[in-house]
Structure 1
Amino acid sequence: MIKLLPFLVIISFFSVPMMVSAEEKNDDMVENRMALYKKSEALTMIPWYYFAAMDQYERNINKETASDDYISITIPKEKWFGFANPSQSVHSGWIAMFSGIGKDGNGDGLADPTDDEDILYTIGKWISKYGKTEQDFKIAIWNYYHRELSVQTITNIAKVYKKFNTIELNETDFPIPLQYNYSYKNTWGDARGFGGRRIHEGTDIFANYGVPVKATTYGVVELKGWNKFGGWRIGIRDIYGRYHYFAHLNGYQKGIEVGDIVKPGDVIGSVGATGYGPPGTSGKFPPHLHYGIYKDTGTTEWSFDPYPYLKKWERQARKTR
């Protein structure tokens, strides 16, 4: 029995699968994507964060993507191969004959719409036709998607990636500092009557006047100002295509403006009771923060229940106190 032990140890070693943690997989994904973006930048002179922003945008809106690897940009076949192309041959010369935009990005002579390097190189060449400034990029994206919100979202994602010089931006925060007294419950979908019958598209977090209100994610301020329902409010679009709506504010953080880049924990305003009337109306209800989230699908935008997110972010914030 003792003589067989080394053999059994060897068998056991090779029969146990090597376990890879979710963190390690995510690190590899981030590293490989960044390597692809940087290579595409070197080939096309288009800044890496434009590739990353467009890729993230399509990851947000696409249920299925052309590539099974790292890149989510999925170029329509009629664009890739050309509208009058009788076949879907991936030979780059054949595609060029029919004015398809598909390009060979890895030097194998093929323009494969499922290959990560070919996809990014093709997008880089598309953008290059319009120039290399931010305005040129906006024009290129408009001519690709023909949708204003898509242009705005992709441009803002690019700004966030550029500022923080990374695509790994997963931190979040709870919108109310935990040291203050506050309370909330799930009120999404409840009936509302002011201004006509409608549903409550958010969660109300009750707190005292002047309690700081914080950004919950990385993003860009898209909206600031008065609304007869929401009072003084701010809207922030994050890198995942979600629009975060903070309403009934008592006031804004000094200096915050539309176009500003924010990170989780940045103070953007304070709790109030504004709304339900002309500009400046306040006190028609107890002070609270109305917090809503909307998701852009690439064709439309819809409200969804923020309560599970708030509970998750609250738990995470308590762990890091």
Structure 2
Amino acid sequence: MKRAKRFLQILMLTLFIISSAPQITLANTTEEMSQEEIFNARMELYQKMEAITQVPWHYLAAVDTYERGLRRAQRDRPREEGFISIFYDPEIWAGPINPNKEDTDPLSISLFNGIGLDGNGDGVASPTDDEDVLYTFAHYLEQYGFDEDDFRIALWDYYQREQSVSIIHGHAAVYEHFGTLDLDDHAFPIPLNYNYSYKNTWGDRRGWGGRRIHEGTDIFAGYNVPVRATAYGKVEVKGWNMYGGWRIGIRDLDNVYHYYAHLSGFEKGIEEGSIVSPGDVVGYCGSSGYGKPGTQGKFPPHLHYGMYRDNGFTEWSFDPFPSLKQWERKAYQDRKKKK
């Protein structure tokens, strides 16, 4: 049975190679391509590997997207050379006791218990070849099964970190929901037709609950002014926080956690696990927090907006002010175009 399945996989792979030629493989061509062309090239790779291995394309896209975020966050990781960002340590790819850490021979890699596979039938298993890289991970996933529980177990065994499993699973849910990779748009969290004001308050001192720094930007607005999602993503957290009051947390496709605090309440239908788009109302501006559940009015109403990046090991806050200014400018430009 296993031999028959493997034969079918090889046959399908060969047919795809023939039918899809010629292909764009040089890394430097990505610099000359539009974002739409890059998305299309990635989707073609995901769907090709789905056809060969039966692993859903949105699982592959989710892992690749997570790894792309890690490459941006970890300084010791090289930038990807092609469309696919999944990174393999040389010892994992070639085998832990392989004397040649740059080995690309599928046979010797297998003999030394490496995971690198030839994904396009050229006789080479290269950690910089998009099809080899993606096929290797798809093959790893297919050994566990094809439903969500299997996916989670496979991710846990690979990353050994629950946060990584949660983030990737969230990415997969977003891609499955929208059915596209073109999900890079953003929105300013407060609608432009409301009165609001803000300045850069990231890093300011805070005294309530002990000395700490302000990990975000305060956007002052009136009670019950709508608060909107700034990116495509999945709601990870919703509820009460002693500092932030009624708050909601949304993870985007760049592995960034967006934190909305001091709300007066939540939008109906927004729950943990909800998938949101830029501009979707998720809650309403208020003055909750700094006390037990329900505490209100210890400060003027405002939205505390924070951004936290995950690097595969830990998570840290960074200044959201530049992003907010960029999204605000874009919102004004879009509104001007509509007039």
TM-score normalised to the size of structure 1? 0.91
Alignment of 1:162-177 (within 5 A): 162-177=176-191
Cα distance, 1:224 vs structure 2: 0.6
Cα distance, 1:86 vs structure 2: 2.5
Cα distance, 1:87 vs structure 2: 2.4
What SS is found at the alignment partner of 1:264? coil
The CA deviation string for residues 20-47 of structure 1, in whole angstroms up to 9 with x for no partner, is 9989522221111111111111111101
Contact 2:202 2:319 in 1 (8 A): yes
Q: Is 1:304 the equivalent of 2:304?
A: no
Q: Is 1:46 the equivalent of 2:60?
A: no
What SS is found at the alignment partner of 1:320? helix
Contact 1:66 1:114 in 2 (8 A): no
Q: For residues 170 and 32 of structure 2, what CA distance do their matches in structure 1 show?
A: 27
Alignment of 1:1-321 (within 5 A): 24-63=33-72, 64-65=77-78, 67-88=80-101, 89-321=103-335
Q: For residues 280 and 80 of structure 2, what CA distance do their matches in structure 1 show?
A: 36
The CA deviation string for residues 187-231 of structure 1, in whole angstroms up to 9 with x for no partner, is 111100000000000111111111111000000000011111100
What SS is found at the alignment partner of 2:174? helix
The CA deviation string for residues 234-255 of structure 1, in whole angstroms up to 9 with x for no partner, is 0000000110000000000112
Unaligned runs of 5+ in 2: 1-28
Contact 2:30 2:82 in 1 (8 A): no
Which residue matches 1:16?
none
What amino acid does structure 2 have at the position aligned with 1:31? N
Contact 2:235 2:250 in 1 (8 A): yes
Q: For residues 32 and 174 of structure 2, what CA distance do their matches in structure 1 show?
A: 23
Specify the structure having the higher radius of gyration (Cα). 1
Q: For residues 47 and 116 of structure 1, what CA distance do their matches in structure 2 show?
A: 17
Pair 204,81 (structure 1): closer, same or farther in 2 beyond 3 Å? same
Contact 1:85 1:98 in 2 (8 A): yes
Contact 1:66 1:74 in 2 (8 A): no
What SS is found at the alignment partner of 2:272? coil
Q: For residues 256 and 200 of structure 1, what CA distance do their matches in structure 2 show?
A: 27
What amino acid does structure 2 have at the position aligned with 1:304? F
% of aligned pairs identical? 58
Cα distance, 1:74 vs structure 2: 0.9
Cα distance, 1:82 vs structure 2: 1.7
Q: For residues 234 and 162 of structure 1, what CA distance do their matches in structure 2 show?
A: 22
Pair 274,127 (structure 1): closer, same or farther in 2 beyond 3 Å? same
TM-score normalised to the size of structure 2? 0.86
What amino acid does structure 2 have at the position aligned with 1:80? W
Q: For residues 113 and 312 of structure 1, what CA distance do their matches in structure 2 show?
A: 36
Pair 23,287 (structure 1): closer, same or farther in 2 beyond 3 Å? farther
Contact 1:65 1:73 in 2 (8 A): no
Q: For residues 253 and 119 of structure 1, what CA distance do their matches in structure 2 show?
A: 41
Aligned length: 302
Q: For residues 235 and 99 of structure 1, what CA distance do their matches in structure 2 show?
A: 41
Pair 67,308 (structure 1): closer, same or farther in 2 beyond 3 Å? closer
What amino acid does structure 1 have at the position aligned with 2:116? G
